[in-house]
């Protein structure tokens, strides 16, 4: 005989033995976010960190989990030292192609005067080494974060969450939508949209933790540039702690 609050899963069918203490909706998205983080604390291993409302150039991601690469302090400091929008310049393949002001202007699509201001910023950050016929950009061979997981948290608006989660694949290895478990059934009726987008779907119930309905596909990051932007934004957050 099941006790109140127990959950059984048979394929995609979920049977819940309810009591008056179950299925209380979260009062706000902030409380939902806190519950998501709490539900993941036991599962996360050392080396993982969490950042809230991270801007990687595709809109704010509610939660970003990042797994730190070992021996990456040097690259962490290099990425944290420059504006996030310039982080793609430190990609090894990109930095090797930028050795003059004209090449920098062409890479960024800027005028010579605008590129000159960017060059001044990069010099101030210590990532430029002067050469006899130009300069060299310091490259980041080992990005500080090995795996990035983005989570979009919404009480019930699964459609809006899915749109942002799809964008988050530009920079994240995995992208998820996590809803209040009280309002997850509408999303389940459209589960094919999550599967087609490669976005994971989960829900959180107060007092019962996390329910995974669709696993995220590890397809990202789609954009190399956004990946570096996210790496820099996370590096800044980590060093600011």
pLDDT, tens digit, 9 for 90 and up, residues 102-112: 999 999 999 99
Decide: helix, strand or coil at residue 77: helix
Shared-domain flag, residues 184 and 172: yes
Q: Distance between CA atoms of 116 and 122, rounded to whole angstroms? A: 10
pLDDT at residue 175 tops 80: yes
Query: Which of 211, 147, 208 lies closest to 178, judged by CA?
Result: 211
Closest CA to 152 of 199, 186, 120: 199
pLDDT in tens, 122-158: 999 999 999 988 999 999 998 999 999 999 999 999 9
Residues 50 and 157 both lie in one domain: yes
pTM of the model: 0.84
205 belongs to a structural domain:
yes
For the CA atoms of 17, 22, 25, 29, the dihedral, rounded to the nearest 10 degrees, stands at -100
Percentage of residues in the chain having pLDDT higher than 90: 79
Q: State whether 25 and 59 are in the same domain.
A: yes
pLDDT of residue 89: 96
**Same domain for 128 and 22?**
no
Cβ–Cβ < 8 Å for 239, 192: no
Q: Which domain holds residue 165?
A: 7-68+144-214
**Tens-place pLDDT, residues 3-31:** 444 433 444 444 444 444 457 899 999 99
């Amino acid at each position: 005989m099941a006790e109140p609050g127990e959950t059984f899963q048979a394929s995609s069918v979920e049977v819940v033995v309810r009591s008056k203490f179950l299925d209380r909706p979260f009062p706000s998205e902030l409380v939902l976010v806190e519950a998501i983080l709490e539900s993941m604390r036991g599962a996360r291993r050392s080396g993982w960190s969490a950042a809230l409302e991270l801007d990687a150039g595709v809109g704010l991601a509610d939660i970003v989990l990042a797994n730190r690469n070992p021996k990456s302090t040097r690259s962490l400091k290099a990425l944290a030292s420059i504006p996030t929008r310039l982080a793609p310049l430190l990609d090894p393949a990109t930095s090797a192609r930028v050795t003059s002001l004209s090449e920098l202007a062409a890479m960024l699509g800027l005028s010579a005067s605008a590129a000159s201001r960017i060059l001044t910023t990069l010099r101030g950050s210590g990532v430029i080494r002067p050469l006899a016929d130009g300069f060299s950009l310091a490259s980041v061979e080992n990005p500080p974060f090995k795996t990035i997981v983005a989570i979009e948290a919404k009480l019930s608006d699964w459609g809006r969450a899915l749109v942002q989660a799809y964008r988050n694949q530009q920079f994240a290895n995995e992208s998820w939508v996590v809803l209040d478990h009280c309002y997850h059934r509408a999303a389940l009726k459209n589960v094919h949209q999550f599967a087609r987008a490669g976005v994971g779907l989960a829900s959180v119930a107060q007092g019962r933790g996390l329910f995974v309905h669709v696993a995220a596909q590890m397809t990202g990051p789609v954009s190399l540039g956004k990946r570096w932007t996210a790496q820099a934004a996370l590096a800044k957050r980590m060093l600011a702690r």
